[in-house]
């Protein structure tokens, strides 16, 4: 009998606890719902809620227009000078020689030993016409009293011709070859290299070293 009474009392306690928990949960859900409704109402009343922005199909950096209009828009402002547009060259990986265009760099110059002009002969470095140009050390020494072998490796050399143009290359002082080497692409900006097996005498006003 006592066991039966204890069981009934336990069931009553559990029922009371469950009812209390349900009431608490109900109050919490109601409060949350009411709070959410109040926030929405306040936002609508005050007008503070920011409406979603319309998304532009094109960003400011990408617009579609005709080619002519694009060129006109790009050049409508001030135009820079060539000096401001083309900056000094910089060496790149894989390049064996990149000439300096810094007009303020320190250089040395050599005038011809005899007369107003010197004479040097430029030829190919090999039997193929795809080779660059080369001027032998002996000619440079005899005409300008310059010992190429004493220059640092790949010292830049400018040969100012009597026609006002400049041939740009660098010094070579290896075991097999000593003199001035002129890469084909650079040399052909100034003159036409002679065919393989020939030499092209050139009249020179001065040498610029460095």
- Cα separation of the two ends of the chain: 118
How many angstroms from the chain centroid is the CA of residue 60?
24
Which range of 1-10, 24-33, 65-74, 162-171 scores highest in mean pLDDT? It is 162-171
Residue 124 phi/psi, 5-degree rounding, is -90, 155
Q: Tell me phi and psi for residue 24, to 5 degrees.
A: -65, -45
Count CB neighbours of 190 within 10 A.
Answer: 18
Report residue 48 as tokens.
């503070």
What pLDDT, in 10s, does the model give residues 79-109?
788 888 877 766 555 456 778 878 888 888 8
How far is it, in rounded angstroms, from Cα 17 to Cα 1? 25
Rounded Cα gap, residues 199 and 134, in angstroms: 9
Residue 129: per-residue pLDDT: 78
pLDDT band at 36 (very low <50, low <70, confident <90, very high): very low
Instruction: Write out 132-186 in H/E/C secondary structure.
Output: CEEEEHHHHHHHHCCCHHHCCCCCEEEEEECCCCEEEEEEEECCCCEEEEECHHH
Token couple for 61: 């950096």
CATH class of segment(s) 108-209: mainly beta
Segment 3-30 mean pLDDT: 46
Question: How many other C-beta atoms can be found within 10 angstroms of the C-beta atom of residue 188?
Answer: 13
**Residues with Cβ < 8 Å from 149, sequence gap 6 or more?**
137, 173, 178
Residue spans of the domains in the chain: they are: 1-47, 108-209
pLDDT at 134: 92
Confidence of residue 181 (pLDDT cuts 50, 70, 90): very high
- The CA R_g of the chain, rounded to the nearest whole Å, is 43
Beta bridge partners of 120: 202
Q: Which of 13-22, 74-83, 94-103, 163-172 has the lowest mean pLDDT?
A: 13-22
Residue with tokens 């609508």: 44
């Amino acid at each position: 009998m006592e066991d039966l009474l204890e069981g009934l009392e336990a069931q009553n306690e559990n029922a009371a606890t469950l009812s209390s928990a349900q009431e608490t949960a109900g109050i919490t859900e109601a409060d949350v719902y009411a709070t959410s409704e109040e926030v929405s109402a306040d936002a609508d009343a005050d007008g503070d809620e920011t409406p979603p922005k319309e998304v532009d199909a094109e960003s400011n950096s990408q617009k579609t227009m005709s080619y002519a209009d694009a060129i006109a828009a790009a050049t409508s402002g001030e135009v820079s000078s060539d000096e401001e547009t083309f900056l000094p060259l910089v060496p790149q990986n894989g390049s064996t020689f990149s000439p300096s265009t810094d007009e303020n760099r320190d250089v040395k110059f050599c005038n011809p030993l005899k007369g107003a002009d010197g004479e040097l002969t430029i030829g190919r470095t090999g039997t193929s016409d795809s080779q660059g140009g080369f001027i032998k050390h002996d000619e440079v020494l005899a005409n300008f009293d310059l010992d190429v072998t004493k220059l640092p490796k790949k010292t830049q050399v400018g040969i100012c011709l009597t026609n006002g143009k400049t041939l740009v290359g660098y010094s070579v002082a290896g075991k097999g070859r000593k003199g001035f080497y002129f890469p084909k692409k650079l040399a052909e900006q100034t003159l036409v290299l002679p065919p393989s097996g020939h030499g092209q005498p050139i009249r020179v006003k001065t040498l610029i070293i460095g």
